[in-house]
Amino acid sequence: MQRNLAESTVMEERAAAIAHEVKNPLTMVGLNLDILEASDKRLGADKNYAMIRKELRKISELMIDFIYLSSNQQKERGQVVIKNLLGEIIEDFSVSLPNIALDITYPSVEFILRANESDLRTLFGNIVKNAAEAMEYCGKIQIEVSARERHVNISFKDNGPGLCEAAQSKIFKEHFTTKPMGSGLGLSICQKIAQEHGGSFTLENLREGGCLAVVKLAL
Ligand X SMILES: Nc1ncnc2c1ncn2[C@@H]1O[C@H](COP(=O)(O)OP(=O)(O)O)[C@@H](O)[C@H]1O
> Rule CB under 5 A: which residues touch Mg ion?
130, 186
Tell me the window of 11-19, 38-46, 105-113, 178-186 that interacts with ligand X (CB under 6 A): 178-186
Q: Is 131 in the site for ligand X (CB under 6 A)?
A: yes
- Stretch 108-127 residues interacting with ligand X (CB under 6 A): 126
As a 3-state breakdown, the chain gives helix, strand, coil percent values, each rounded to 5, of: 50, 20, 30
N residues, the chain? 219
Q: Which does 198 bind (CB under 5 to 8 A by kind): Mg ion, ligand X, none?
A: none
Terminal C-alpha separation, the chain = 41
Please state the closest distance from residue 118 (CB atom) to ligand X, in A: 18
- Nearest CB to Mg ion, comparing residues 139 and 186: 186
Task: Choose among Mg ion, ligand X, none what residue 184 binds, the Cβ cut-off being 5 to 8 Å by kind.
Answer: ligand X
Among 116, 122, 130, 191, binds ligand X (CB under 6 A): 130
Among 171, 193, 194, 214, binds ligand X (CB under 6 A): 171
Of 125, 182, 196, 219, the residue at the interface with ligand X (CB under 6 A) is: 182
Name the nearest CA neighbour of 172 among 184, 180, 182, 160. 184
Strand order in the sheet with 100-105: 100-105, 139-148, 151-158, 211-218, 200-205
Shortest-Cβ-distance residue relative to ligand X: 186
Question: By Cβ distance, which residue is nearest to Mg ion?
Answer: 186
- Closer residue to ligand X in complex, CB, 50/164: 164
β 78-81/112-115 pair status: antiparallel
- # residues contacting ligand X (CB under 6 A): 21
Task: For CA atoms 184, 185, 186, 190, give the dihedral sign.
Answer: positive
Say how far apart CA 132 and CA 134 lie, in whole Å: 5
Contacts with ligand X, residue ranges (CB under 6 A): 126, 130-131, 134, 158, 160, 162-163, 167, 171, 176-179, 182-187, 211
